[in-house]
Structure 1
Amino acid sequence: MNSASHNSIAERFGRWLGRGWRGYVHRERKVLQWLASKGLPWIAAFALLWAIKLVALGVLAYFSFWLALLMVFAVVARWPVGQSTSEDDFELGLPATLDGLREMPGYDPNLHNDTSHEMYRDDD
């Protein structure tokens, strides 16, 4: 029997996120130290990093707002298209009889194989 435990996908994903977060915090501390070494007070460096975070959050919120608005407009525009009509309401717009078809402007008896029409020509 195998005594080694296997990590689930969720556990591996959580560990991956934790490593990423620790890496981010480590790099943030390095930036704070670098800014302090350049003569910027600690509180100013800390405030600068928070300002950068807030600006990034604002840009993300702005982008998310316009994306959500675009999706709402797409759904609203798609709504009438999705409304189905019964097949009884469907009309082709063409006359149902041959006489009605002959009265339409631009009628050509050769295109409809209307041999009883006086303008029909047989191209044999």
Structure 2
Amino acid sequence: MNTTSRISIAERLGRAVGRGWRAYARGERRASNWLVSKGVPTVGTTALVWVVKLAALGVLLYASFWLALVLVGLLLVARGLGKGGDDFSMPRDELRHGEAGFGLYSSDGYRLDPHDPSDPYDD
């Protein structure tokens, strides 16, 4: 039996996300320290970092809104094309068991297909 345990895919994904988050935080801290070294006050750097974060969030929300709008439009177009011009207000002919046996009947109850009333197999 193997004594070393394998890392699951979820754990690998979690570690990758954690490394990405640490890299982002390290870059943000490095940029903030660079601004402070250039003479920008600490409060100013914090405010600038938050402005950049909120601007990125705004761009992300703007792009996702338009993407969702395009997808909804495509869905409506596909749904409209899928109908194929059927008019649902018109009554439709259907196969059913009626007064003259099983057959094709109109919406008002008349049998449309030819049949012989004396045929025993026509019921």
TM range (shorter): 0.5 to 0.7
Distance in 1 of aligned mates of 2:80 and 2:73: 12
Tell me the percent identity: 50
Distance in 1 of aligned mates of 2:80 and 2:28: 51
Long gaps (5+) in structure 1? 90-124
TM-score (norm 2): 0.66
Long gaps (5+) in structure 2? 87-91, 93-123
Hey, which bits of structure 1, 4+ residues long, moved more than 4 A?
Answer: none
Report the alpha carbon displacement of residue 41 of structure 1 after superposing the two structures with TM: 0.6
Q: Which has the larger radius of gyration?
A: 1
Tell me the alpha carbon deviations over residues 20-69 of structure 1, each in whole angstroms, 9 at most, x when there is no partner. 11111111111110000000011110110110111111111111111111
Give the superposed CA RMSD.
1.8
TM-score (norm 1): 0.65
Residue number in structure 2 paired with 1:70: 70
User: Pairwise mapping of residues 28-107 of structure 1 onto structure 2 (< 5 A)?
Assistant: 28-83=28-83, 85=86
Tell me the number of residue pairs that the alignment of Structure 1 and Structure 2 aligns. Answer: 87
Q: Which has the higher strand share?
A: 2
